[in-house]
Amino acid sequence: MSNFPFQRLQVDLAALIARTPAGQRLPSEPELAKQLGVSRATLREAMRAFETQGLIRRRQGSGTFVVGKMRGLLDNGLEVLESLETMAKRLGLEVSVSDLSVESLPADDDAATALGVPSGTPLTRVRRVVRADGRPVAYLVDILPEAILHVEDLPVDFHGSVLDFLLDRGDPLRTSRANVSAIGGTAEVAKALEIQRGDVLLHFYSQLFDEENRIVDYSLSYFIPGYFHFHIMRRVGA
Amino acid sequence: MSNFPFQRLQVDLAALIARTPAGQRLPSEPELAKQLGVSRATLREAMRAFETQGLIRRRQGSGTFVVGKMRGLLDNGLEVLESLETMAKRLGLEVSVSDLSVESLPADDDAATALGVPSGTPLTRVRRVVRADGRPVAYLVDILPEAILHVEDLPVDFHGSVLDFLLDRGDPLRTSRANVSAIGGTAEVAKALEIQRGDVLLHFYSQLFDEENRIVDYSLSYFIPGYFHFHIMRRVGA
DNA sequence: AAACTAGAAGTTGTCAGACAACTACGCCAA
DNA sequence: TTGGCGTAGTTGTCTGACAACTTCTAGTTT
* Number of residues that make up chain A: 238
Q: Which residues of chain B have pLDDT under 70?
A: 1-5, 68-77, 79-80, 89-92, 212, 237-238
Please determine, for residue A238, whether its predicted confidence score (pLDDT) is greater than 70: no
Predicted pLDDT of residue A231 = 80
For position B124, what pLDDT does the model report? Answer: 96
Chain B contact for A211 (CB, 8 A cutoff):
yes
Check CB contact of B72 with chain A, cutoff 8 Å: no
Q: Do A229 and B181 touch (CB under 8 A)?
A: yes
For chain A, what are the domain ranges? Answer: 4-66, 74-231
Interface of B with A in 91-150 (CB under 8 A): none
Q: Kindly provide the ipTM of the predicted complex, given to two decimals.
A: 0.65
What does the alpha-carbon distance between residue B84 and residue B221 come to, in Å, rounded to a whole number? 11
CB B155 within 8 A of CB B229: no
- Kindly state the helix (H) or strand (E) to which residue B8 belongs, with its residue range: helix B5-19
| Strands A173-184 vs A200-210: parallel, antiparallel or unpaired | antiparallel
Q: For domain A74-231, give its CATH number from 3.40.1410.10, 3.40.1280.10, 3.40.50.20, 3.20.20.70.
A: 3.40.1410.10
Q: Which helix (H) or strand (E) holds A99?
A: strand A95-106
Determine the pLDDT at residue A71.
38
CA nearest neighbour of B23 among B65, B85, B51: B65
Question: What is the pLDDT confidence band of residue A16, given thresholds at 50, 70 and 90?
Answer: confident
Residue A206 and residue A218 in contact, taking contact as beta carbons nearer than 8 Å:
yes
In this complex, the residue of A78, A202, A234 whose CB is nearest that of residue B182 is A202
pLDDT tens track for B90-131: 666 778 899 999 999 999 999 999 998 999 999 999 999 998
Average of per-residue pLDDT values in chain A = 84
What is the pLDDT confidence band of residue A6, given thresholds at 50, 70 and 90?
Answer: confident
Q: Does B86 touch chain A (CB under 8 A)?
A: yes
Which residues have C-beta within 8 Å of that of residue B188, sequence separation ≥ 6?
none
All protein residues with a CB under 7 A from any atom of strand C: A 4-7, 37-42, 45, 59-62; B 3, 26, 28-31, 40-41, 44, 58-64
Question: Mean pLDDT throughout A47-65?
Answer: 85
Residue A40: nearest nucleotide (C-alpha to C1'): C15
Q: Is B179 on the interface with A (CB under 8 A)?
A: yes
Give the lowest-confidence range in A23-37, A72-86, B19-33, B141-155. A72-86
Arithmetic mean of pLDDT, A10-27: 83
Distance, in Å, from the CA atom of B5 to the CA atom of B9, rounded to the nearest integer, reads 6
Q: Is the CB of A57 under 7 A from strand D?
A: no
**Nearest protein residue to the C1' atom of D21, measured from CA:** B61
* Residue A9 φ/ψ region, left for φ over 0, alpha for ψ in the -120 to 50 degree band, beta for the rest: alpha
CA distance A170 to A191: 35
What is A4-66's CATH number?
Answer: 1.10.10.10
Structure confidence at residue B88 (pLDDT): 74
Pairwise pLDDT comparison (A238 vs B224), residue with the higher score: B224
Q: Do domains A4-66 and A74-231 have the same CATH topology?
A: no
Q: Three-state secondary structure along B37-73?
A: CCCHHHHHHHHHHHHHCCCEEEECCCEEEECCCHHHH
Task: Give the pLDDT of residue B72.
Answer: 37
Residue type present at position B151: V
**In this predicted structure, what is the pLDDT of residue B90?**
66
